[in-house]
Amino acid sequence: MNTIIKLLPVALVLLTLVLGTGCVDGPAEDYNVISGTITITDIPTPQPDVYIFVFSYSHYWGERVKINMNNVNGSNATLSWSIPVDDDFIPNQDYGIGIQWYPIGNNEVFSKTLLNPIKIGKDKKLGNIGTISIKTITISGTINVTLNEETIPKIELIATEPYNYTMFKIVFYNPAPNTEWSVTLLAFDPPKEVSTYKIFAMDDGGKFLFEKDLSIIHYYYNVDISNIDLYFGNIEKEP
């Protein structure tokens, strides 16, 4: 069994703290609303569930609604959205706006926030707020590692870029030879270099056993990468 752990964007963490469980998962009707359009590109098939969110940079306020994708037929679309506001909304301040999406058949949630904050005035009509790509890529391969010719109770695999920023982490439990792994990430533009794949081995009780690095350079961009063979080999160690 493999468990995938990824570093979530700061905006997604802020959104979770602000919104909690009080999200409005549907289009607003005759309320006091913030409204506009957004252009979404690289929409996959089947279509994911897509939400737009607005949050304050200066005070504790945020809201989220699900975008109606029923009439989307292609990979790009400009869609209308509206978000209800309450008495905690303060006009004429900077707000962050972004989207979350949940790919069908994937337990991941992805989030992107527009690079620049938007000042929302009293009329709350924003027009088109910009374009966001929701393209993802799948990175996959196999892993081989044993300790004294035996499987290892727990392995943590971490992929890092040259400055040691963690791109993803996968946890394996008793991985057999040629255990397959895969992870879905946001597409990158420009490409992102991954230079090191590192493993940390632990016993059944979580005690550290050893670590080992593989220096393999890949450039994660906007296409899938498969058949990455992470061969760490057999580690000889005194019991």
Full pLDDT tens readout for the chain, 239 residues: 554 444 444 444 444 434 543 444 444 444 489 999 999 999 998 899 999 999 999 888 999 999 999 889 999 999 999 999 988 899 999 999 999 999 887 778 999 999 899 999 888 999 999 999 999 999 999 999 999 999 999 999 999 999 889 999 999 999 999 999 999 999 999 999 999 999 999 999 999 999 999 999 999 999 999 999 999 999 998 77
Look up residue 208 and give its two tokens: 């550290």
Strand, helix or coil at 149? Answer: coil
Which of 62, 50, 78, 59 has the alpha carbon at shortest distance from 22? 62
Which of 156, 179, 167 has the alpha carbon at shortest distance from 220? 167
- Cβ–Cβ < 8 Å for 168, 136: no
CATH 2.60.40 residue spans of the chain: 2-133, 136-235
Look up residue 108 and give its two tokens: 């991941």
Per CATH, domain 136-235 is 1.10.287:
no
State which amino acid sits at residue 165.
Y
CATH tag, 2-133: 2.60.40
Is-above-0.85 flag for pTM?
Answer: no
Predicted local confidence at residue 198, as pLDDT = 97
